[in-house]
Structure 1
């Protein structure tokens, strides 16, 4: 096939990747559109899996696993389970990189998604505390830790490939593609729970209804596995990764040589990651525990907010290419700080205030989170970029989002929702400082 014929078969809109693909003399063609679709499918399935567990931490696990605790303490205990996966995620990244170096990218992805799917479907069969006692809690914790390992090992480098293939004027657009998975995953998970919760009695929902989204999550993982394997085991994809020098290296080596960039990348996106849980999982727990609105009403508002977030993520790509990714991320951090000051007033304002908090929060989340992936990835040398980007993301989740619902709910119950302001402001300060340090590094290197 000639390069002109091959180019004619690739969707338009990704000219840099078209050029790279036209140079790959292989029999298995991978178009830029294929890579973009693979990114969205993979990230959407991961986020769907994540939000299914997060929503269940509010609606199901306090009663299923912690019936011996008051509702607030039961929810806090469930949020502890939620955080557990983020602790093991960097370990999963390290193990995944080792597997990829030894057996290849396809083997790593297959193992990671097999473990993720097995843990997810295992949760669907979980017995209640009333039946199995403490064994139910221990089993759920083990499955959650397994999910974290699998998520770390599922890094496929697709977002990095898109970002590195972009021209300077298109990097913001490429960066937002994978981030669309977050609102899409939330819409699907929240929609399923809203439907089941509204159609079933409380007993039926807590007995068997909540298990259905976990089975759907397992099916989504299977679909994502085949969609992503179709890309990552192809000769054309491998050639592109090799040309971009996106190869796994030992985590210890990355931390030893460019550990500062890893932590800088994690803190640069901290405001976005802190806001992530504070407009999704935390409000659902706070509003329902205080009986301010019905669960179904909150979920419907959040679904609408996630739709707005999808639009905002796309807009972030357009804006970032005009004002700069880091400028946009810094500006959004400032707006998140302003939003945090209004959070106590909004969350104390009954239905109208809660709705405004959720809708505004989702829009800010879309605009900021749309550019939160790999903001300072260019700091890494080519050799360490693939592993460094994965580690930065893992640490951003661990530091910024893992304990956000737990800390925010515990502090809000003790001191009021002003604690949400303090939590968000701490993330804003970290983001602005990290972006400032990164700018100085760039100036010194120029």
Structure 2
């Protein structure tokens, strides 16, 4: 999930390095082949996270927080929702050490095993009615472990893809990894929709909700083989060596590249702030207000996810024409304008809520499609592999981790104007970060 290098491997300052396109390069993997691994890998990871996010609305308040009223049950669930984003940077640091000791394939296998096991483990948890508060503590533990596994699952394929993409098509190839988000959401939401629609409420809350968590483990196994097929090849290793994409210790990264990490994270904040406000938050607000059937909301969100896929693809075309920095800033402005209408749409009954979801997903695709391709573009080459991972970790933490919790809590207290405030703050942070970061003013 990175961008093109502003100091490419063939520029002065990186002596002897070669890109995958240089004559005599040892690597022969086409960008399209790398893109397949990127999309499959990201879709599996996002599936795990969306399974939890949807269950945080439909299931957890009833199964793990039955003692709380509807609002507080959701707020408790969203508190646990944030735990994975808090632990994710620690997972990145831990598994970078694993990679330095035992290699990329061991790291990736272990991380996806941890991620899949934590997600599947939630499926076996008894509810609060059976073991009391221990159920909540175990759910919190699995959520923290899920974040650690997610952080460790960084494989460098997006960085590799951006480096081996044709210079005039880097926006196009950068958006491919971002397709995993709407694809993962479609799979997770479709499963929950089918189960929630076909089962009676008691069966769904007793055992039906567990099936998506079981499926997560199988999805991770498929994704693991798809990614290992690339990661363990000699060509992949050669390409990483050519690009100096090797793990750097977190301490060294923060000491020498901390500015770039945090500025890069804030540069993508508008996209990440919007992310959970069109996926998880509408379900929670509508369930509280009881303005429409939740199955209908899931159907609208599935349509929105399809729109997001289309808009993500479009973002690649736009970015190749006007630049990724300009694209990210432009759609941050659009998100800011969209934020002004959020209270009227979400408070305007089912029609307004559906419009909020569909338009929000469209803007999400257009902005998120280039978010990760832009935030790491100013890293020096040797720091790009670890820098891309940590920048993404902190973008999720600052922008998305607490979005459902804050938006729902403040909206319940002060009204839907809180949603506007949250989205506007993300848009402002993105525009300020892009303004400050002079590296974004280069040819990219």
TM bracket (short chain): over 0.9
Q: Is the 8 A contact 1:18 1:31 kept in 2?
A: no
Q: Corresponding residue for 1:407?
A: 406
1:24 to 3, 21, 26: 26
Separation in 2, partners of 1:332, 1:444: 19
Q: Is the 8 A contact 1:17 1:166 kept in 2?
A: no
**Deviation of 1:379 (Å):** 1.1
Q: Corresponding residue for 1:65?
A: 64
Q: Corresponding residue for 1:262?
A: 261
Residue 22 and residue 35 in structure 1: after superposition, are their counterparts in 2 closer, same or farther (change >3 A)? farther
Separation in 2, partners of 1:346, 1:444: 38
Q: Is the 8 A contact 1:20 1:240 kept in 2?
A: no
Q: Corresponding residue for 1:397?
A: 396
Task: Please give the TM-score of this superposition, normalised by the length of structure 2.
Answer: 0.94
**Long gaps (5+) in structure 1:** 1-15
SS at match of 1:155: coil
Structural mapping, 1:333-372, within 5 Å: 333-372=332-371
Q: Corresponding residue for 1:167?
A: 166
**Deviation of 1:32 (Å):** 2.9
Q: Corresponding residue for 2:11?
A: none
Q: Corresponding residue for 1:296?
A: 295
**Long gaps (5+) in structure 2:** 1-17
Residue 348 and residue 253 in structure 1: after superposition, are their counterparts in 2 closer, same or farther (change >3 A)? same
* RCO comparison, higher one (Cα < 8 Å, 6+): 2
**Deviation of 1:21 (Å):** 9.8
Q: Deviations over 1:396-445 (max 9, x none)?
A: 00000000000000000000111000000000110000000113x56699
SS at match of 1:402: coil
Q: Corresponding residue for 1:183?
A: 182
The two structures, once aligned, show a CA RMSD in angstroms of: 1.7
Q: Is the 8 A contact 1:112 1:150 kept in 2?
A: yes
Q: Corresponding residue for 2:139?
A: 140
Q: Corresponding residue for 1:204?
A: 203
Q: Is the 8 A contact 1:376 1:438 kept in 2?
A: no
SS at match of 1:378: coil
SS at match of 1:67: coil
Q: Deviations over 1:39-87 (max 9, x none)?
A: 0000000011110000000000000000000011001000011100000
**Deviation of 1:19 (Å):** 3.5
Q: Is the 8 A contact 1:21 1:30 kept in 2?
A: no
Q: Is the 8 A contact 1:179 1:313 kept in 2?
A: yes
Separation in 1, partners of 2:216, 2:23: 33
Separation in 2, partners of 1:442, 1:309: 25
Separation in 2, partners of 1:104, 1:374: 25
Separation in 1, partners of 2:377, 2:174: 13
Separation in 2, partners of 1:443, 1:230: 37
Task: Please give the TM-score of this superposition, normalised by the length of structure 1.
Answer: 0.93
Q: Give the length in aligned residue pairs.
A: 427
